[in-house]
Amino acid sequence: MKILYFCFLVALLCCTSCSSGIELKPVKKDNLLHDMNSKVWMVDKVIFKDSNLAPRINLDKDVIIFYNSGRCVFQPMKTLGDFVGKQGAYSLDSEYMTLSLYFLAEKWDFQVYISNIDTLILEPTKQSDLNYTMVLVPFPEL
């Protein structure tokens, strides 16, 4: 009798949990790039035709700084603090996971893939003025 009662409860739970009519809200990934303030990402790899063109030494690599305001800066790591690099704006579409970087005379469009908890792969779209795949990692400890 207890087994029958238990099976009835499990069946009832399965049937009602799937048909509760509650609409799920999509998860917005806007703060992925800037952590609600600003975040520095290092361009760990620059891939073109299966070759990594990025320097091996971290100090020689580029960084992208994303701000909560929608602004961004792209510059060599060696020049941080000396001058401001290429300034622009960005937009991230959370639903389609696309990222657009808008600089003065060019637009970089990417499909964003999250490789693991702290690695982003930016694959250029056909509309992009930049044709390199970039792998971003958080700014490393020095």
pLDDT tens per residue, range 69-104: 999 999 999 998 899 899 999 999 988 999 999 999
Q: Which has more confidence, 88 or 116? A: 88
Domains contained in the chain, number: 1
Within 13 Å of residue 67, how many CA atoms lie on the same side as its CB? 9
Read off the pLDDT of each residue in 11-34 and give the average, rounded to a whole number: 64
92 located within any domain: yes
Residue in 9, 6, 26 with CA at minimum distance from that of residue 17: 9
23 located within any domain: no
8 located within any domain: no
Q: How far apart are CA 89 and CA 10, in angstroms?
A: 52
32 — pLDDT class (breaks 50, 70, 90): confident
Read off the pLDDT of each residue in 20-41 and give the average, rounded to a whole number: 75
Question: Does 43 score more than 90 pLDDT?
Answer: yes
Could you tell me the residue range of the domain that residue 88 belongs to? 28-138
82 located within any domain: yes
**64: CATH:** 2.40.128.540
Report CA torsion sign: 81, 85, 90, 94.
Answer: negative
- The structure's pTM equals 0.79
123 located within any domain: yes
